[in-house]
A and B are shown apart, each in its own frame.
Chain A
Amino acid sequence: MKKIKKQNAARLLEKWQKEFTVFVPSKASGVAQMAVWDGQDLAFLEHNRNTVIPPKANFLPSIQKMFGFRKEEGGYVLEPTDEDPPKQLLFGIHPCDARAIAIIDMVFKDAYEDRYYLSRRQNTVLVGTACTSPYDNCFCTSLGFGPADATDVDIMLTDIGDSFLIEEITDRGKEVLAGAKDVMAATAADEKKARAVKESAKARVSTKIDTDEIGKRLPLVFDDRKFWEEISAKCVSCGICTFLCPTCYCFDINDEMLRDGSGARYRNWDCCSFAVYTKMPAENPREDKWRRVRQKVYHKYAFYPELFGIIGCTGCGRCIRQCPVNWDITQTLNSLPAGTPTKKQETQKSS
């Protein structure tokens, strides 16, 4: 393994800046999000907690131009968007948010090839940092990984005091690190220190859920209207939990058109908590609030496992921290009634 002294980390970022647009966690805009590094601010090297706006915005921007169009005799002429996908490097992404990108991949890369997403995804390098200060309501360790898990990044950095230990995870990671002047070989003592840092980070994640039990109970409580009504009573149906969720990807499509018939088609974030969700093309099948709240829980904890074999939540805690009424998904998951199997489910089980 390798390492770099913290005081030299800026030079590494400068090297990457020559090839990439380098994004770092920043509060400069007034809200914590991944922002283009200004070449000065290095606060994130010392203090890096989950941003409010998740890094999914770098792949599924809140405004995505799909194509332009203009009216000509006999119809419309489409003008493909000529916007070059940015070659970007995300520095300081946490394992939960990197896992979230891997989860979105399953929908936008594997199940369907979405070129807008892929053009960004394929042009991106993820440089992760082990999350050494998880929030008190983070629960990533209940979801099969942890705050220092390096699986989903290209390069992983762990803060070992005056230096970062560097793990090159992918070939792409090795490539972008090649020729970096200040990178040195790590000693056994450095690696030992990093292991201790990772262990202590893991121990700090105190909120827990039991995914096995949840997996067993969810199929049994879908029709428990009373439970879902109670759980959802305080929800005000805003878009915070989904917009700030690192794995929520629903989008709406809107055209902006001038009087002469020219314009452009855009994608923007949409949210299943909204009462008007999918009302434009048809009807919202979930008019009642409790159905919408149930959908959010099931999409992450039942439908994702069924379709992709993974839970669509990374335990980043944003939906809890930012919720204006402190609706807490872990409380819902931890209070699912044991339920009773329906006849249909029992028949399925025995057959």
Chain B
Amino acid sequence: MTREIEQKLRAEARNLLEKGKVDRVIGYGAGSLRFATTPLIISDKGDADRLVVNPFIHNNLSVFLPDLCGKVAIVAKVCDARSIISLVQNKQIAREDVFIIGVPCSGIIDLAKVQKLTGLDRDEIGDMSWKGDKVAVTFAGGSKEFSAGEVLADSCLGCDCSGFQEFDLVIGEIKPLAGGKDLSRNKIQEMEAMSPAQRWEFWKNEFSRCIRCYACRQICPVCFCERCFVEETEPLWVSPLPKWQDNLIFQAVRMMHVAGRCTDCGECERACPANIPLGILTGKMEDIVEELFQYRAGMDKDAPPLMAAYQPEEAENLMR
């Protein structure tokens, strides 16, 4: 199945480049690590055979779009495609410059979850693949099967791909995932059950590990500010020293800034080398945005950006 999709994708990519319909194709190439893929940006049709599709195509490739000139075809899962539309909504890219190739996604297998469940590191795992609706993991001396709920990334468990209409081409069939919104909100519910003091303690502990590598910001497609507030020095908004308080402020403000643009794609949490569960924040934020504004980022390219558009009849007179 995956193999067939891969072949079709390669043919389409080759065709798009050959006919000059696009200048570049952004997709996934084979990674150098086990169970990894790597972003692949090609402009030569001869490189189309390097494109791959497998359960580890985790990167949200739309992060590369604003920096690429010309017409670009991009391989996208639904969550990534929503980020692309979010970029269009926020005028970071023009819709006509992007050709969105949708690929089916059974959810991204969260390597961190598999490592935790098996007690094994990435290179100690023999194989990992879908077996019906289960994920079979083999390793030296055994194998185990896990349900999607156990091993899919939280953001994938909450995936709602219905109603997305913006693909220019779909390879294969895009179907809803077997997860369930409830499963994806487990950590958020745990957090909501805590007292404010407990929650404060929790985040204090988490943000104590932050090293301010800014991978969360850099990997994020909708963190597109040319100059981030943490880099402002006059006045200084946040100390550049990685103290937990400033780390928390950095992340809290970042989250506020991407509210209404973030699609909860999960890349910030996945990129974090310090294992800070940022998905709790992006997931909760998406819920709040939906509840308060009935708004889902990246669903409608013509919808004005949530936080950057003002209507004269709005109740708030901040802008008047």
**Do B215 and A29 touch across chains, with their CB atoms under 8 A apart?**
no
**Do A274 and B214 touch across chains, with their CB atoms under 8 A apart?**
yes
Closest chain B residue to A276, Cβ basis = B231
Which residues in chain B, 112-134, are within 8 Å of chain A measured between CB atoms? 121-123
| A208 close to B (CB within 8 Å) | no
Which residues in chain B, 90-137, are within 8 Å of chain A measured between CB atoms? 121-123
Q: Give Cα A48–Cα B123 distance, bound, in whole angstroms.
A: 14
**Do B218 and A30 touch across chains, with their CB atoms under 8 A apart?**
no
**Do B215 and A268 touch across chains, with their CB atoms under 8 A apart?**
no
| B7 close to A (CB within 8 Å) | no
Q: A240-B273, A244-B273, A324-B219 are in contact. Are A30 and B206 (CB under 8 A)?
A: yes
Cβ proximity bits B53-66 to A, threshold 8 Å, 1 near / 0 not: 00000010001100
- Chain B residues with Cβ below 8 Å from A1 are none
Interface of A is mostly: loop
Minimum CB–CB distance from A275 to chain B (whole Å) comes to: 9
Q: Give Cα A144–Cα B240 distance, bound, in whole angstroms.
A: 37
**Do B32 and A266 touch across chains, with their CB atoms under 8 A apart?**
no
**Do A254 and B240 touch across chains, with their CB atoms under 8 A apart?**
yes
Q: Give Cα A105–Cα B312 distance, bound, in whole angstroms.
A: 63
- Chain A residues with Cβ below 8 Å from B138 are none
Q: Give Cα A256–Cα B217 distance, bound, in whole angstroms.
A: 24
- Chain A residues with Cβ below 8 Å from B38 are 234, 325-328
**Do A266 and B121 touch across chains, with their CB atoms under 8 A apart?**
no
Interface residues on A, range: 35 or more
Q: Pick the contact of A321: B33, B40, B212 (CB < 8 A).
A: B33
Interface of B is mostly: loop
- Chain A residues with Cβ below 8 Å from B270 are 324
Q: Give Cα A268–Cα B246 distance, bound, in whole angstroms.
A: 13
- Chain B residues with Cβ below 8 Å from A38 are none
**Do A238 and B218 touch across chains, with their CB atoms under 8 A apart?**
yes
Closest chain B residue to A236, Cβ basis = B218
Which residues in chain B, 35-58, are within 8 Å of chain A measured between CB atoms? 36-41
Minimum CB–CB distance from B43 to chain A (whole Å) comes to: 10
| B166 close to A (CB within 8 Å) | no
- Chain B residues with Cβ below 8 Å from A278 are none
Q: Pick the contact of B208: A29, A238, A244 (CB < 8 A).
A: A29
Minimum CB–CB distance from B301 to chain A (whole Å) comes to: 25
Minimum CB–CB distance from B275 to chain A (whole Å) comes to: 5
- Chain B residues with Cβ below 8 Å from A327 are 38
Closest chain B residue to A135, Cβ basis = B123
Q: Give Cα A223–Cα B137 distance, bound, in whole angstroms.
A: 46
Cβ proximity bits A57-74 to B, threshold 8 Å, 1 near / 0 not: 000001100000000000
**Do A49 and B121 touch across chains, with their CB atoms under 8 A apart?**
yes
Minimum CB–CB distance from A335 to chain B (whole Å) comes to: 12
- Chain A residues with Cβ below 8 Å from B274 are 30-31, 52
| A209 close to B (CB within 8 Å) | no
**Do A266 and B241 touch across chains, with their CB atoms under 8 A apart?**
yes
**Do B63 and A236 touch across chains, with their CB atoms under 8 A apart?**
yes
| A53 close to B (CB within 8 Å) | yes
**Do B209 and A137 touch across chains, with their CB atoms under 8 A apart?**
no
- Chain B residues with Cβ below 8 Å from A63 are 241-243
**Do B215 and A239 touch across chains, with their CB atoms under 8 A apart?**
yes
Which residues in chain B, 146-187, are within 8 Å of chain A measured between CB atoms? none
Q: Give Cα A327–Cα B219 distance, bound, in whole angstroms.
A: 13
Closest chain B residue to A268, Cβ basis = B241
Q: Give Cα A234–Cα B233 distance, bound, in whole angstroms.
A: 29
Which residues in chain B, 184-229, are within 8 Å of chain A measured between CB atoms? 205-206, 208-209, 211-215, 217-219
Closest chain B residue to A33, Cβ basis = B209
- Chain A residues with Cβ below 8 Å from B209 are 29-31
Q: Pick the contact of B273: A52, A236, A266, A271 (CB < 8 A).
A: A52
**Do A320 and B211 touch across chains, with their CB atoms under 8 A apart?**
no
Which residues in chain B, 258-284, are within 8 Å of chain A measured between CB atoms? 267, 270-271, 273-276
**Do B213 and A271 touch across chains, with their CB atoms under 8 A apart?**
yes
Closest chain A residue to B239, Cβ basis = A256
Q: Give Cα A271–Cα B233 distance, bound, in whole angstroms.
A: 17
Closest chain A residue to B41, Cβ basis = A233
The 10 closest A-B pairs by CB, nearest first: A239-B213, A324-B271, A238-B215, A136-B123, A238-B218, A326-B38, A234-B39, A328-B32, A236-B218, A326-B31
- Chosen A-B contacts, 26 in total, with CB atoms closer than 8 Å, are A30-B209, A30-B276, A31-B273, A49-B121, A62-B242, A63-B241, A63-B242, A135-B123, A136-B34, A233-B41, A236-B219, A239-B212, A239-B213, A239-B214, A244-B213, A252-B240, A254-B240, A268-B212, A268-B241, A268-B242, A269-B212, A326-B37, A326-B38, A328-B32, A328-B33, A328-B38
